[in-house]
Amino acid sequence: MPIRVWLVCGIVLVLSVGMEGNSYTQNLGGPIQDVVEHRSQGSINWTLGSIEATGVGIPPSFVGASASKALAARAARVVALRNLLEVVQGVRIDSSTTVESFLVTNDEVQARVTGLVENAHSIRQQVLSDGSVRVTVGMELWGKSSLLSSLSGKPDSKAFHGDSPSPHVNGNAYTGIIIDTRGLKVRPLAFPYFEDEEGIPVLKPERWITKPSRRRGGAQYFALPDSLPTSSLQFWRPVVEKQEVSSKMKRVGPRPLQVKGIGKTGIFQGNIVMSQKDARKIRGNEILLKALEEGRVIIITDPLIAGIEGGIHLNPFLYAWVGRTGS
């Protein structure tokens, strides 16, 4: 007998309590937080460089318990992959472009991205109280066989990973850049653009989005309460001493330049404006320009980032079940 996977839309009430932007962050433990952008179908982790989505499969009643669970899990994965593609399409590449723009204009890129989504790894599988199965799938935003590598061409086997060694430099040279944008409500981008108060790029356009930055993304995002300065021991030493956090901070190395963002630009409000003084300092230092070019940048944002208003939201949540057709 033929088997058909049915999709039906349900509605789940998600209550976002308190201040705007609750959907953007996730506690890491201590004052430092991952920047996680939650969508109705999944999430984008701008700290770890990962994308996840969830689907639920409802078991059929016409087969045994074991087969029923397997069919429900299979249906859940179908939905999760569909949701993952939707989340991927909404990833902001720069301050005016999303992944969806690449997919509708380039068949080769569309094929690569679709292939990555179809081969997404399973993160967890849960059997719910009603017998349905929830499956969570994921893929990498940056790194080997990642979304960014699929947009730029053949994946690079030497792609960046969060636990890669920090850059080694001699003496007191800077090893990266930390940009404090708290209070600006900057939206995360795969490749943020940096400019001075007159709108002049800090990094020449031809050096923006290079092969190294495609492998690792243009920046990594962390959230930190405004009461804690980035230079304080409350921020930096716990990062260095906690292995699970320090591995994520290796992007900027042991001696990053710390810069204060003073504004934001772009359609998605994700490009960062810095002072003329800071811009001149970076432009006059080839090591710092190289850090921007290679994406050795961390952007500090507010724990509650603007872009998703507080209040009650109705979010569509896709379910699937396996049904029997014909006889």
> What DSSP line would sit under 25-94, residue for residue?
EEE-SSS-EEEEEE-SSEEEETTTTEEEEEEEEEPPSSS-HHHHHHHHHHHHHHHHHHHHHHHHHT-BSS
Same domain, 129 and 12: yes
| The pLDDT of residue 14 | 28
In a domain, 134, yes or no: yes
One-letter amino acid for residue 282 of the chain: I
Cα–Cα distance for residue pair 224/279, rounded to 1 Å: 23
Are 15 and 137 found together in one domain? yes
Q: What is the pLDDT of residue 231?
A: 56
User: Quick check: pTM over 0.75?
Assistant: yes
Q: What is the pLDDT of residue 193?
A: 94
Residue whose entry in the numeric block shows the structure tokens 């320009």: 289
Q: What is the pLDDT of residue 248?
A: 60
Q: Which domain holds residue 85?
A: 3-19+40-154+310-324
How far is 295 from 299, CA to CA, in rounded Å?
11
CB count within 10 Å of CB 169 equals 14
Q: How many domains does the chain have?
A: 2
The DSSP bridge partners found for residue 180 are 260, 300
Task: Give the pair of three-digit tokens for residue 148.
Answer: 């960014």
- With respect to residue 29, please indicate whether it lies within any of the assigned structural domains: no
185 and 139 share one domain: no
pLDDT of residue 309: 30
Residue 189 lies in a domain: yes
Together in a domain, 206 and 295: yes
Q: Name residues of the chain where pLDDT drops below 50.
A: 1-22, 27-29, 154-167, 232-245, 306-327
Residues 6+ apart with CB under 8 A from 252: 166, 175, 176, 177, 178, 291, 296, 297, 298
Answer for the pair 123, 137: CB distance below 8 angstroms, yes or no: yes
Query: Amino acid letter at 195?
Result: E
